[in-house]
Amino acid sequence: MNESHTTGTGPLDDGAAHLPVVDVSDTGMTSTPLQTAMGHARRLGPVFVQRFHDRETVFVSSAALVEELSDEERFVKGIGPALENVREVAADGLFTAYNDEPNWAKAHDILLPAFALTSMRTYHPHMLRVAKRLIGSWDARFAAGSGVSAPVDVAEDMTRMTLDTIGLSGFGYDFASFEREQAHPFVQALVRALAHSQAKLGRVPGADHTAEDEAFAADAAYLARVVDEVIERRKASGDTSTDDLLGLMLGSPHPRSGEVLDEANIRNQVITFLIAGHETTSGALSFALYHLLKNPAVLHLAQAETDALWGDDPDPEPAFEDIGKLRYVRQVLNETLRLWPTAAAFAREARADTVIGGRHPVRAGQRMLVLTPMLHRDPVWGDNVEEFDPDRFAAEAEAARSPHAYKPFGTGERACIGRQFALHEATMLLGMLVHRYRFLDEARYELRIKETLTLKPDGFTLALARRTPADRARGRAALGAVLPAGHGVEAEAPATGASPTRAVPGTRLTLLHGSNFGTCRAYAQDLADMAAELGFETRVAPLDDHRDGGLPADGPLVVVAASYNGRPTDDAAGFVSWLAQAGPGAAEGVHYAVLGVGDRNWAATYQQVPTLIDDRLASAGAARLMARSEADASGDLAGAVRGFTAGLRRTLLERYGDPASVAPSGEAEPPGPAYDVIEVTGGPLDALARRHDLRPMTVTHTGDLADLGHPAGRSKRFLRVRLPEGVGYRTADHLAVLPANDPGQVERAARVLGVDPDAVLDARTRRPGRTALPLDRPVTVRELLTRYVELQAPVTAGQAAVLAAHNPCPPEKAALERIAAGAGEAAGADGARPGSLVDLVGEHPALQGRLPWPVLLELLEPMRPRHYSISSSPSAGPGQADLMVSLLEAPHRSGRDGVFRGVGSSYLHRVRPGDTVLARVQPCREDFRIPHDERTPVIMIGAGTGLAPFRGAIADRRALYASGAELAPALCYFGCDHPDVDYLHRAELEEADREGAVSMRPAFSLAPEGEVRFVQHRIEAEGEEVWRLIGAGARVHVCGDGSRMAPGVREAFRKLCVKYGGQDASAASQWLQDLVAQGRYVEDVYVGG
């Protein structure tokens, strides 16, 4: 094997940066080409060229480069030599078709409904049937009277199971693999065919392979014959249903063209699914069992989850809904596929000449092979990438990573269409196995990997022992205190057929909130409204009302809480401090439930405080009414809150319901639609103001803060509002403003929804609460769409499901059901997001005019206030507050044409002097208030309009300086594009610098000084000074962009600790966490959207 470097002689275009080349022509490809390539990547880096005679392959494994290769605008799937060889068996099946082959798009569109949620429900019984076959086979390995089974061949049995599952679910054909001593001949031929495809990759030019090719041809003919028999059997049966893959292919025309698949392509698709539907899934299950065998702590957590769901029943009948509750088991599978993605590489091909990584030119049509196992070992996964750790796939950890760092199913529109099928099947089986058995490593197996285009553990066996109720009880006792709330699953109480509809008279319900911006307080009030309707006597209060304990034991307690940078909100700090010190018995007799509200964009602190409250209450002797629930502001927040509300309602009535109120229907929910609607005349905005506790405020000044005539100019707007009589604020507080939708968006929404904007509605909610629209008087449709509802919020799964239910067009209905099944994910396989509710209605024209107003009013989310840091000091201008607002303009995250403009920022860019806005002053967190004294240095860091609170603080310091006060040093690191374009309030701040009130430290991304482009670069460049101030007790305040700037600043401070503090990276991370915990490093940041 020879290694060298290339300067364009390989596949990359001339002028490319030097790439290492490894020539394996002399040594050959070996039987483990994938593992060999992984070794090259470890040695040569994330991009290298492998040469084998006249064939060169570029391997890529860097997460940053793969993110570029995943851009569907620049790259498409490539059919490399490996898939070219598989085409000899599968031809133009979905997996192996060329991008421009007509049958790919035709088959893809026809088959999509086969992988919708409704179809998964159809396949579930088949999956369960085969899973029980495997369990029966494993039970038969126990000799009479023996507590330990004979060894089971894991990979072979997983192959039997997955083959039977895809055969029954997809084609109604039973391979009956567990009734055979040897694998089904079809499997044997298929394995040989795949091995032949791989072996061809290593062929030396000129060698004679006639015998191998003839044997392969015989296997390929046998595979085709078996599949043709399956197809003919279905056609002869007279079954014309379209409930499975084969039925869809035989009986469904293309939803737009009306074309059907020809029989040759149907055969190719069946072979494709038999390959992809069992080889990869069986490998994933085999690897998962290996890792569970070698990681008993992980196995115990998985068992605890299944025990919580299925109790002591060793042979449960999992319902379809059960599988979604096995969240930790799913994390085990995800981590398995991280380490050993069974389809371990995928090719990408450039659509046009381009450059990746800023320095590697790529020709149009050039293929690159993503080495997925090494992508999954990129540094973004941490420094322990070989360790098996399912917590990498906890929700908060996933949200913190780029979605392009994890690609076990490929990428883009050619990604695996059957991933949900595979994951449902694998999650169910793995859950059933860990629930039933203990796994014994009697063979002391060491991992060896067999490669046949897919990956499997080679020669892996394990022995089994049946778990007993005593085993499960010991596991629950040992793990109950450490199993994360997100992993546990509560078994549902059996339905009684009748339940109370009212609480026992006099039952008290206490609802405590931890809320900085009012969201949790509003949710607590909504829950109180719901409970009051049921007859509870409710009390809503901040958590700090119980800062000394005294929690109520005479009725249920509900806590609705959020975190702020991982710390309690201002109205919960005292309570959390007490609870952290509370001993056993301090909450004895309390029965409680916790709803945690957070945002997964802040992965490091997501749900931190609600989790602490939940865990500490239990440790102090309180009893959970229900498992802690999570509501994610970056996901389906409203849906999560509705789910918690429904569960709480059910639990409260079960535990505290009055037997005299039992209704035979068991229904406590008022029947019928949520709204009664009639069309009448208009009304004012008083209800909106009351709902959000807003006051009218007059805009007195507006203006541009940036030079929009400059090519780099981006709109940043200055506003000054006059505060109402009696309303004041403190420096760094926020102004919460209720925006209005853009008139163009309103007209578009009316047109898309098929409603008359001048019609008048008189709507009255039948379900009062803060989640209902505040419609207490007539409004025009135009007023409704302008002021009352969100028009650009991403659609939720629940909304998409309602649209599907109301769509009379079958293809459109199926498309909406697919969106509903995937709307909770961060993005689809092609990186696009599903868009807004209005977008979806516009893209499915059968819905136009078919959504009645009661449905629309429930679908459209209420308009919410937006929060902006006040950029002035009350000492400089009492009775007025300044804002600086960047106009959010970006490509649609949904991939749609045009520019997305933020609702709030667009509104504030439209207002003019004399206009009135609805707003309120919202206090900032006390920790974010900037100290002005002689002892505490201050380091302020912001970019763009993140400067806002610091402008106010600098004005405070100027006033104190003018009065002769002694102040500790203050640095202000401020990032912008160019000093002549968007150095906001430049003259004012430079004057403050000259006076000595602050030391301004700007960084200009488009006019860098040396290596300094962003604030984090300047912090590093001036690290010695910054480190000295930190040592003197400085407090760090960060405001602005949370997606790029804030993480960059945190990394800069960790580097300072390494360089000047002599710490390693791990200790530096802990040091920064300690600063945060001490309130000396405080962020007030946001993610644009």
Q: Give the integer Cα–Cα distance in Å for 193 and 981.
A: 64
8 has a pLDDT exceeding 50: no
924 annotated among ligand-binding-site residues:
no
Q: Give the integer Cα–Cα distance in Å for 976 and 485.
A: 42
pLDDT of residue 200: 84
Mind spelling out the 3-state secondary structure of 113-147?
HHHCHHHHHHHHHHHHHHHHHHHHHHHCCCCCCCC
823 has a pLDDT exceeding 80: no
Q: Do 588 and 727 share a domain, yes or no?
A: no
54 in a domain, yes or no? yes
Catalytic pick among 96, 165, 280, 786: 280
Q: Give the integer Cα–Cα distance in Å for 740 and 742.
A: 7
Answer yes or no: are the C-beta atoms of 606 and 600 closer than 8 Å: yes
The mean pLDDT of 546-554, rounded to a whole number, is 92
Domain boundary among 888, 907, 924: 924
Reading the block at residue 541, the tokens are: 């209060």
Average pLDDT, the chain: 86
pLDDT of residue 676: 64
pLDDT of residue 14: 47
The mean pLDDT of 248-273, rounded to a whole number, is 85
637 in a domain, yes or no? yes
- pLDDT category at 672 given cuts 50, 70, 90 is low
Answer yes or no: are the C-beta atoms of 1072 and 1053 closer than 8 Å: yes
Reading the block at residue 22, the tokens are: 């490894």
Sign of CA dihedral 406, 409, 414, 420: negative
Of 186-200, 287-301, 761-775, 859-873, least confident by mean pLDDT is: 761-775
Query: Which of the given ranges, 142-151, 480-489, 504-513, has the highest pLDDT on average?
Result: 504-513
Spatial neighbors of 737 by CB under 8 A, at least 6 apart, are 865, 866, 867, 868, 904, 907, 908, 917, 918, 919
614 in a domain, yes or no? yes
CA–CA distance from 576 to each of 555, 569, 1043 (Å)? 21, 10, 29
- pLDDT category at 11 given cuts 50, 70, 90 is very low
The mean pLDDT of 451-460, rounded to a whole number, is 90
The mean pLDDT of 29-51, rounded to a whole number, is 89
Q: Give the integer Cα–Cα distance in Å for 622 and 602.
A: 29
pLDDT of residue 1004: 96
Domain boundary among 617, 636, 660: 660
pLDDT of residue 181: 83
Q: Do 1062 and 1082 share a domain, yes or no?
A: yes
- pLDDT category at 425 given cuts 50, 70, 90 is very high
Q: Give the integer Cα–Cα distance in Å for 278 and 165.
A: 8
- b or e along 847-860 (b: 16 or more beta carbons within 10 Å of the residue's beta carbon)? beebbebbbbbbbb
Spatial neighbors of 440 by CB under 8 A, at least 6 apart, are 148, 462, 463, 464, 465
- pLDDT category at 415 given cuts 50, 70, 90 is confident
Of 119-128, 689-698, 937-946, least confident by mean pLDDT is: 119-128
Q: Do 1018 and 1042 share a domain, yes or no?
A: yes
Of 220-234, 386-400, 597-611, 1001-1015, least confident by mean pLDDT is: 597-611
pLDDT of residue 668: 45
Residue with tokens 């919202």: 922
Query: Which of the given ranges, 605-619, 934-948, 1074-1088, has the highest pLDDT on average?
Result: 934-948
pLDDT of residue 1072: 93
828 has a pLDDT exceeding 70: no
* Identity at 880, one-letter amino acid code: Q
693 has a pLDDT exceeding 50: yes
179 has a pLDDT exceeding 60: yes
Q: Give the integer Cα–Cα distance in Å for 1020 and 1024.
A: 8
pLDDT of residue 248: 82
125 CB neighbour count, 10 Å cutoff: 13
Q: Calculate the CA dihedral of residues 91, 93, 98, 100 and round it to 10 degrees.
A: 120
Look at 221 and 775; give whichever has higher pLDDT.
Answer: 221
Q: What is the DSSP string of 960-1013?
A: HHHTT-----EEEEEEES-TTT--TTHHHHHHHHHHTS-EEEEEESSS-BTTB-
Provide the residue range defining the domain that includes 946: 926-1086
Q: Do 704 and 748 share a domain, yes or no?
A: yes
Q: Do 902 and 932 share a domain, yes or no?
A: no
556 has a pLDDT exceeding 90: yes
The mean pLDDT of 402-412, rounded to a whole number, is 87
Helix (H, G, I), strand (E, B) or coil at 539: strand
Active site residue 280: yes
Q: What is the pLDDT of residues 967-993, one digit of tens each?
A: 999 999 999 999 999 999 999 999 999
- Residue 635: half-sphere exposure toward Cβ, Cα within 13 Å: 23
State if pTM tops 0.75.
Answer: no
Query: Which segments of 351-440 are extended strands (E)?
Result: 354-356, 360-362, 367-371, 437-440
The mean pLDDT of 720-738, rounded to a whole number, is 94
Are β-strands 695-704 and 716-722 bridged in parallel, bridged antiparallel, or unpaired? antiparallel
Backbone angles phi, psi at 190, to 5 degrees: -65, -45
27 in a domain, yes or no? yes
Q: What is the pLDDT of residues 780-807, one digit of tens each?
A: 999 999 999 999 988 888 899 899 999 9
932 has a pLDDT exceeding 50: yes
150 in a domain, yes or no? no
Q: Give the integer Cα–Cα distance in Å for 563 and 607.
A: 7
Q: Do 847 and 964 share a domain, yes or no?
A: no
Q: What is the pLDDT of residues 570-583, one digit of tens each?
A: 889 999 999 999 98
1022 in a domain, yes or no? yes
Q: Give the integer Cα–Cα distance in Å for 941 and 567.
A: 20
Q: Do 891 and 982 share a domain, yes or no?
A: no
Catalytic pick among 416, 520, 972, 1057: 416
Q: Give the integer Cα–Cα distance in Å for 251 and 258.
A: 11
pLDDT of residue 699: 96
Q: What is the pLDDT of residues 835-856, one digit of tens each?
A: 899 999 999 988 988 899 989 9
Helix (H, G, I), strand (E, B) or coil at 875: coil
The mean pLDDT of 864-868, rounded to a whole number, is 92
- Which CATH number fits the domain that encloses residue 972? 3.40.50.80
The mean pLDDT of 712-726, rounded to a whole number, is 93
Look at 142 and 418; give whichever has higher pLDDT.
Answer: 142
- Which CATH number fits the domain that encloses residue 788? 2.40.30.10
Q: Do 551 and 688 share a domain, yes or no?
A: no
Q: Give the integer Cα–Cα distance in Å for 755 and 659.
A: 46
- pLDDT category at 768 given cuts 50, 70, 90 is low
pLDDT over 90 for what percent of the chain? 51
Q: How many domains does the chain have?
A: 4
* Identity at 923, one-letter amino acid code: P
The mean pLDDT of 514-530, rounded to a whole number, is 85
pLDDT of residue 44: 92
- pLDDT category at 683 given cuts 50, 70, 90 is very low
- Which CATH number fits the domain that encloses residue 653? 3.40.50.360
Chain-centre distance of CA 841, in angstroms? Answer: 24
Active site residue 972: no
Domain boundary among 386, 417, 447: 386
Q: Do 1067 and 939 share a domain, yes or no?
A: yes
188 in a domain, yes or no? no
pLDDT of residue 762: 83
894 has a pLDDT exceeding 70: no
Q: Give the integer Cα–Cα distance in Å for 159 and 342.
A: 13
Q: What is the CA radius of gyration of the chain?
A: 31
Residue 871: name the closest of 935, 946, 929 by CA: 946
312 in a domain, yes or no? no
Q: Do 689 and 640 share a domain, yes or no?
A: no
Active site residue 416: yes
Q: Do 765 and 783 share a domain, yes or no?
A: yes
Q: Do 641 and 714 share a domain, yes or no?
A: no
pLDDT of residue 359: 87
Q: What is the pLDDT of residues 200-245, one digit of tens each?
A: 877 877 788 888 889 989 999 999 998 888 888 888 877 777 678 8
